[in-house]
């Protein structure tokens, strides 16, 4: 009789009950780790043109239902204004999202609200992931006589149209897509989502 079979024979009833539970906990921990992870490589089976169609369709549906009168501007038009130095982008997302990447020289919503008059000589364009949150923000600002525009399709459409995004160290290929429903960045980009616990307890 080997030492291993002898050891197995000597396992107490308590040990035999605990071992499956411990193994189950290990497996559950591994599963939770992958669920909680927010980083992923987006589905590259779709072409950028197919992703554009999905993103713009979602945006138009949001606009139709929730902010139909909000003026918006296409990313290509926004890029022209950027090249001419005539635009300021307002990011209406949360800080964790902005930490991943932002549009060129964008400012936060709170920074804009401190002094909207400071940007009266610029075309002000708000955005978020797909420009739903920024659409509501734009709607509210225009009611208060602050003329701003909503970026059609948000940061997703921006990168799909070839626009660059930046973090604190420079240009980046990471983009926060908020959640799996909006996981359509341009091919070659790494998408970041809120993890399980961030969604559960708030971002």
Q: Which residues of the chain have pLDDT under 50?
A: 3-4, 7, 29-37, 200-201, 203
CATH fit for domain 41-201, picks 3.30.360.10, 3.30.450.20, 1.10.8.100, 3.40.250.10: 3.40.250.10
pLDDT reported for residue 32: 45
Q: Tens digit of pLDDT for each residue in 127-174?
A: 999 999 999 999 999 999 999 999 999 999 999 999 999 999 999 999
* Beta-carbon-side half-sphere exposure of residue 23 (alpha carbons within 13 Å): 6
What is the model's pLDDT at position 135?
Answer: 98
Q: According to the model, what pLDDT value does residue 194 have?
A: 86
């Amino acid at each position: 009789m080997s030492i291993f079979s002898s050891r197995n024979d000597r396992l107490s009833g308590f040990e035999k009950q605990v071992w499956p539970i411990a193994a189950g906990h290990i497996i559950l921990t591994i599963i939770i780790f992958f669920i909680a992870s927010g980083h992923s490589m987006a589905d590259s089976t779709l072409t950028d043109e197919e992703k554009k169609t999905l993103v713009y369709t979602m945006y138009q549906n949001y606009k139709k239902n929730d902010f139909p009168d909000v003026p918006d501007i296409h990313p290509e038009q926004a890029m022209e204004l950027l090249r001419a130095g005539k635009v300021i982008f307002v990011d209406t997302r949360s800080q964790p999202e902005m930490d991943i990447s932002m549009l060129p020289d964008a400012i936060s919503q709170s920074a804009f609200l401190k002094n909207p008059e400071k940007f009266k000589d610029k075309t002000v364009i708000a955005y978020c992931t797909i420009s739903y949150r920024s659409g509501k923000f734009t709607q509210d600002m225009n009611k208060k006589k602050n003329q701003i525009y909503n970026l059609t399709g948000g940061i997703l459409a921006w990168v799909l149209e070839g626009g660059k995004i930046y973090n604190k160290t420079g240009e980046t290929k990471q983009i926060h897509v908020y959640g799996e429903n909006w996981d359509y960045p341009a091919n070659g980009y790494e998408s970041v989502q809120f993890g399980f616990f961030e969604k559960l307890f708030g971002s």
